[in-house]
A = this chain, B = another copy of it.
Amino acid sequence: MTNKQERLLQFILDFHKDNGYSPSIREIAKGMGVSSPSTVKAMLDRLEAQGVLNKSSGVARSLSPISQEQEDLGIPVIGRIVAGTPVMAEENIEGYIPVKEFLKNSNGGFFLIVDGYSMKDKGILPGDYVFIQPCKEISNGQIGAFRLNGEVTLKTFKKTNEGIFLLPANEDFEPIPVNEDDTFEVIGRYVMLLRLREQGYKFM
């Protein structure tokens, strides 16, 4: 890509950022100090041929630069590390966690701050952020957030012949039976756990 082509692409990107839509050919001409629309069209055609720009012919302001950023990939996951190789070497990367994609699909979900040690044996500790996906029912053995007689709690759901129980994951706590006259409600499913430790990343 030539110097001029990069400048053109940058101009389109900047314009789009400022205005929310693509520039017209004549606007590009003015912005780039060119006097003829056909000049710009020729340049655009070249960029499109190179595959760095999409364009619908005959459609006004239909420029869409093909972003070369790969930020959609997410954060790399390192599984095993081959001895001697740099950590971020490609052979170490097992995949990516598309946190952004997760955010998009997190409709209605929220984080709950864990309070006590009742789920300690599942590695869920006070101060942890537990992502809850709201739902009305929950299957046996799953962890979820529940409201029992007004109290909100995170437990394992268990349904037996003898009724519903909320199981802690800690010897020091007893299973909680859900009685007939209790007000009981499933708030949502436990989907993910987030724990923040370092100062620099304290969000709140």
Contact residues of A with B, CB < 8 Å? 19-22, 24, 54, 56, 59-64, 71, 74-79, 81, 83-84, 87-88, 93-100, 102-104, 106, 108-113, 120, 123-125, 128-129, 131-134, 142-143, 147, 150-152, 187-198, 200-201, 203-204
A197 to B62, CA, bound (A): 43
A194 interface neighbour in B84, B106, B194, Cβ under 8 Å: B194
Q: Are B150 and A77 in contact, CB atoms less than 8 angstroms apart?
A: no
Beyond the given A24-B60, A192-B196, please list 12 additional residue pairs across the A-B interface where CB-CB is below 8 A.
Answer: A19-B56, A21-B56, A21-B59, A21-B61, A60-B60, A74-B203, A77-B112, A77-B204, A95-B204, A99-B99, A123-B128, A193-B195
Pick from A96, A98, A100, A203 the residue with the most CB of B within 10 Å: A203
> How many copies of the shown chain assemble into the complex?
2
Question: Which residues of B have CB within 8 Å of A71?
Answer: 103-104
Residues of B within 8 A of A108 (CB): 88
Which residues of chain B are within 8 angstroms of A187 by Cβ–Cβ distance?
A: 87
Interface residue from B94, B95, B113, B204 paired with A78 (Cβ < 8 Å): B113
Residues of B within 8 A of A56 (CB): 19, 21
**Contact call B189/A198, Cβ cutoff below 8 A:** yes
Contact B59–A201 (Cβ < 8 Å): no
- CB pair B61–A61 under 8 Å, yes or no, is yes
A147 to chain B, nearest CB (A): 7
- What is the CA–CA distance of A197 and B154 in the complex, to the nearest angstrom? 14
| Cα-based distance from A97 to B109 in the complex (angstroms) | 12
* Chain B contacts for A95, CB-based, 8 A: 203-204
* Known interface pairs A100-B103, A125-B123; A150-B21 also in contact (CB < 8 Å): no
Closest-CB distance, A152 to chain B (whole angstroms)? 4
